[in-house]
Amino acid sequence: YSMADHCFTGSPLCDFVKPEPKRHVQRITIHHWQLRDLLLCPENRRKVIFPCQNNVVQYDTAGGKETSLLKDLTFAPTIWTSRYGFLAAGGQRSELVVRELNGSWAVTTTTGGSINNGLCISNTNGEKRLLVSNNDETIKVYSLPSMRLIDNICLPTAVNGVTISPDGRHMVAVGDSNEVFLFNITNSGEYVHTVSLSASKDSNFSSAWSQNSDKFAVASQDGTVNVWDTRSTIPLFTLGSKQSPNAKGAARCVKFTNMGAVDLLAYTEHVSYVNIVDARSFDSQQVVRVSPAHLDYHITGMTFDPESQSMFVGLENSLLEYSIDTKARRRFPLGSLL
C-alpha cells in the first residue's frame, strides 16, 4: 500500500521524509496501552532495538539479522532503554533487569512500587546512572553498575518518564497529571526541582530534548505536543495531532533528531499517524500515515538514528524505515524559515 504524506502548510518544502518507507517484517510487542516508546537506535544507524514478547532484540536493518539482547525474561517488558553500554528493561510489577552489553554483568531485581513506566540511563559527572520512573510517584536513581540507590525523588503524581538534556544540566519529568516538572542537575549530581509547568489538559507520557539542550518537548494524552525554552514558563509552540480530539490522536512518543544539521521534531499518535515538524522555525509540518486509509495500525514507537539519516516507526508486525531528506534540510541556514 502507499504511504501518502500530507503537509498542513501545503508547502512542497515540508517533505522532511520520503513517503515510501522500507518495510521490515518484525514483531514489536506493546505490553501497556499507553506506553508506546519501544524503539531505539542508540549507537549504530543500522541497528534498531525493540521488545518482542518477553525478549529485547536488536535488528540489523541492512542484513536482516536479529540478535537477542535480553532473552526469555520472566516478565513482559513495558519499557526499556539502552545507553552508555547498558541495557535495562522494566515490567508491570516493578521488575527490573539491567545488563552490560559488552560484558557478563547483569542483575535482576525489583524496585518496589508498581508499574515501571519509564527508564533513563544518564552520564552524570562521569557516573552512569539509571533513573526508574514508577507508578508509585517516585523516580529512583541508581548508580551503574553497583545498583546503589542514590536518590528517591517524590512527585505528586504517578511518573511516566524522565529525560535528561544532552548537556546533563536539566531533567524533565512527566506523569499522570498535566504538570511538567523541570529539574536542574547540580555539579555534585543532585536533582533540584526548579519549576512545574502545565499546558496540556491531560496526562503526559513522553518528553524529549533538543540537541543543544535549550528546548524540550512534552507529548500529551490530549493530542498536543508543547515545546518550551528552558528560560521560559510559557510554551514556545503548541502542536496538534491529526486525529485530535479523538482518542486515536493521543500523542504517545516525541523525539528530536540528534544531528545539528538536521533539526526535526517528530511525534507519534496512538494509531496510524506520525507528525514531523521543522524544529528551527516550527512553521512547517509533514504528516505521514503509516497504515492504509481503511485501517488503523497501532504505533509501538519511533526513533531517529544517531546520524539523523533515517526515522524508524514501529508497528505491531513491522518496522518502517523512512529516509530523511538530509540534503534538502541542509540547504537552509540555521534559523531560517522554510
pLDDT for position 3: 33
* Cα–Cα dist 216/321, whole Å: 25
Nearest in space to 218 (alpha carbons), one of 181, 272, 261, 260: 181
- What is the tens place of the pLDDT at every residue in 268-282? 988 889 999 999 888
How many of the other CB atoms lie within 10 Å of CB of 20?
13
| Residue in the block written with cell 518528553 | 207
- What is the tens place of the pLDDT at every residue in 226-264? 999 999 999 999 998 777 666 777 888 999 998 867 899
DSSP string over 1-26: ----EEETT--GGG--B-SS-EEE--
**CA 299 to the chain's CA centroid:** 13
* Cα–Cα dist 155/175, whole Å: 9
Per the CB < 8 A criterion, the answer to whether 181 and 155 are in contact is yes
* Cα–Cα dist 219/164, whole Å: 16
- Maximum CA pair distance of the chain? 54
**CA 107 to the chain's CA centroid:** 24
Nearest in space to 80 (alpha carbons), one of 48, 122, 47, 50: 50
* Cα–Cα dist 27/127, whole Å: 35
Q: Let me know if 13 is exposed, middle or buried by CB neighbors in 10 A (0-12, 13-18, 19+).
A: middle
| Residue in the block written with cell 542508540 | 42
| Confidence (pTM) | 0.90
Each of the 338 residues of the chain gets a pLDDT tens digit; together they read 223 333 333 333 468 998 789 999 888 887 765 777 889 998 888 999 999 999 999 999 999 999 999 999 999 898 999 999 999 999 989 999 999 999 899 999 999 888 899 999 999 999 999 999 999 999 999 999 999 999 999 999 999 999 999 999 999 999 999 999 999 999 999 999 999 999 888 889 999 999 999 999 999 989 999 999 999 999 999 998 777 666 777 888 999 998 867 899 999 988 889 999 999 888 888 999 988 888 988 889 999 999 999 999 999 888 999 999 877 655 444 443 32
Answer whether the bond into residue 21 is a cis peptide, omega within 30°.
Answer: no
* Cα–Cα dist 175/196, whole Å: 12
Q: Which helix (H) or strand (E) holds 329?
A: helix 326-330
